[in-house]
Structure 1
Amino acid sequence: MDKNNGIPIYQLFINPMDLKELKRDIWCDDPLPAQLKAEGKRLEIDIRYRGSHIRDFKKKSYQVSFFKPNTFKGSKEIHLNAEYKDPSLIRNKLSFDFFSEIGCLAPRSRHVLLKLNGVIQGVYLEIESVEENFLKSRNLPDGAIFYAVDGDANFSLMSDLDKETKKSLDLGYERKVGTENDDFYLQEMIYKINTITRADFEKEVTRYINVERYMKWMAGVVLTQNYDGFVHNYSLYRDGDTGLFEVMPWDYDATWGRDVNGKFMDADYVRIEGFNTLTARILDVGNFRKRYRELLQSVLEQQFTVEFLKPRVEKLHQAIRPSLLLDPYKKDKIDKFDQEPDFIYSYIEKRNSYLKSKLYKLD
Structure 2
Amino acid sequence: MGDKVIEYKFDIHPKNLKKLHKDIWCDDLVPAVLMINKLKLEILLSYRGSHIRDFKKKSYHVVFRRPSTYCQAKEVHINAEYNDSSLLRNKLSLDFFAELGILSPRSRYISLKLNGKNQGIYLELESVDEFFLANRGLSKGAVFYAVNDDANFSLISDLDQGVKDSLIHGYETKCGVTQDEHYLQEFIIRINTIPRAAFEKEISKYLNVENYLKWLTGIVLTQNFDGFVHNYALYLNAETLQFEIIPWDFDATWGRDVDGRIMPPDYVRIQGFNTLTARILDVDTYRKQYQTFLFEVLKSQFTLEYLMPRIDETFQMIRPYVLSDPYLMNNISSFDKEPEVISQFIVNRANYLYQNLDQLD
Q: What aligned pairs does 1:115-264 form with structure 2 within 5 A after superposition?
A: 115-264=113-262
Query: 2:96 aligns to what?
Result: 98
Query: What residue in structure 1 maps to residue 8 of structure 2?
Result: 10
Q: Provide the aligned length of Structure 1 versus Structure 2.
A: 359
- Superposed CA RMSD: 0.8
Separation in 2, partners of 1:289, 1:202: 11
Within-5 A mapping of 1:306-317: 306-317=304-315
Give the letter aligned to residue 53 of structure 2.
Answer: R
Q: TM-score, normalised by structure 1?
A: 0.98
Describe the SS at the equivalent of 1:43.
strand
Show the 5 A alignment for 1:281-320. Answer: 281-320=279-318
Superposition TM-score, scaled by structure 2 size: 0.98
Q: Residues 145-199 of structure 1: CA distance to partner in whole angstroms, max 9, x if unpaired?
A: 0000100000000001000111111110010000011001100100101000000
> Residue type matched to 2:90 in 1?
N
Q: Quick one: which amino acid aligns to residue 246 of structure 2?
A: M
Instruction: Map Cα deviations across residues 290-330 of structure 1 (whole Å, 9 max, x no partner).
Output: 00000000010011011100111011111111111110011
Q: Residue 30 of structure 2 corresponds to which residue in structure 1?
A: 32
- For residues 110 and 101 of structure 1, the distance between their equivalents in structure 2, rounded to whole angstroms, comes to 16
Residue aligned with 1:322, SS: helix
Q: Which amino acid aligns with 1:282?
A: I
The 8 Å contact of residues 108 and 124 in structure 2, kept in 1 or not, is answered as: yes
Give every structure 1 segment of 4 or more consecutive aligned residues whose post-TM-superposition deviation is greater than 6 Å.
none
Please give the alpha-carbon distance, in whole angstroms, between the structure 1 residues aligned to 2:74 and 2:138: 17
CA distance in 2, matches of 1:246, 1:316: 29
Task: State the alpha-carbon separation in 1 of the partners of residues 324 and 130 from structure 2.
Answer: 35
For the 8 Å contact 2:4–2:109, the answer to whether it is kept is: no
**Secondary structure of residue in 2 paired with 1:114:** strand
> What residue is the counterpart of 1:355 in the other structure?
353
Distance in 2 (alpha carbons) for counterparts of 1:50 and 1:61: 6
Which amino acid counterpart does residue 284 of structure 1 have in structure 2?
A: D
| Aligned equivalents of 2:57, 2:178: Cα separation in 1 | 37
- Paired residue type of 2:322: L
Please tell me the residue identity of whatever aligns with 2:333. D
Cα deviation for residue 6 of structure 1 reads: 3.5
Shift of 1:351: 0.2
> Where do 5+ consecutive residues of structure 1 fail to align?
none
Shift of residue 40, structure 1, vs aligned partner: 2.9
Measured after TM superposition, the shift of residue 39 of structure 1 is: 4.2
CA drift at 1:108: 0.1
Q: Structure 2 unaligned segments of length 5 or more: list them.
A: none
Deviations along 1:48-84, whole A, 9 cap, x unmatched? 0000000000000000000000111111000000000
Stretch deviating more after TM superposition (278-287 or 331-340): 331-340
SS of 1:341's partner is helix
